[in-house]
Amino acid sequence: MHNFRIAVGNSLKDKLCEHGFFLQQITDISKLIERKHLLQDYPINTELDKLNFFFSAYLNTIQSLKDGFKTATGKNISWNKLSPTYGDFIFYCRNAATHDGCHLINSGKETKHYIVGPLRRIDGHNRVVEFKPPKQDILTLCCNITEEVLVSLYDFLNEEGQKIPFSKEADLNKSIEESIDSDLIPQEIKNLIKANQNEIAASFKGLEINVIQQTLNAIASVEVIVANARIQH
């Protein structure tokens, strides 16, 4: 479990970057749809499909961030703490997209597109759940959600980040041993590692990976994507 939590902690920055990637895709396709509307360049079915595809992936990255931060710190973060304004909506919306296969962006007005409700799905207790989406166009909604999630993750990291285990010298040396035993690494690479194993081990002395800072840096990089999206919008 210790090594797994180390790996998850190291991956938080990557999952944040993945979240930013899909927000950027939503931004780009939204601007393309807007331009095609203004030029009356129809149809836009392909672009609307892509918007739904990216939104579904975007929602899943939020679930992954919630789970990843819990695994890394050992501390749960509720949907309402992750996003006080949109937490319940993200939960139901993500389940509708992932488990029911719904394309949720279902309406347009002028050059903007929206999720119009009420939306319904069957929950894990076989009950019909009805929820109303926010009345914001999809790009504005995503920017607002991301902004709120990033603030919550920043605060959560400051509160609980010290609980994330990080790789120490013994962990790094163990990873070298595992690489030598791996069937996926070519033999010539293994021979090179063995020949230089002492030098590699010496390079690990005093090495410390600042998981908290690299995660904070990733949060800052996604904040830039949000700011640019708002400017373009």
78 and 17 housed in the same domain: yes
- How far is it, in rounded angstroms, from Cα 34 to Cα 232? 11
Q: Is residue 63 one of the residues assigned to a domain?
A: yes
Domain with 153, as residue range(s), is: 2-85+136-165+209-232
More confident residue, 202 or 225: 225
- How far is it, in rounded angstroms, from Cα 87 to Cα 120? 17
Amino acid code (one letter) for 138: I
- Residues 194-220: pLDDT tens digits? 888 777 777 767 667 789 999 999 999
Least confident of 3-7, 49-53, 149-153: 3-7
203 and 175 housed in the same domain: yes
Q: What is the mean pLDDT of residues 147-162?
A: 96
Q: Is residue 153 one of the residues assigned to a domain?
A: yes
Domain with residue 153: its CATH number is 1.20.58
Determine if the peptide bond prior to 133 is cis (ω within 30°): no
pLDDT band at 34 (very low <50, low <70, confident <90, very high): very high
Cα 208 to its chain centre, rounded Å, is 25
CB 201 within 8 A of CB 176: yes
Beta carbons within 10 angstroms of residue 36's beta carbon: 15
25 and 52 housed in the same domain: yes
Number of domains in the chain: 2
Share of the chain above pLDDT 70, in %: 94
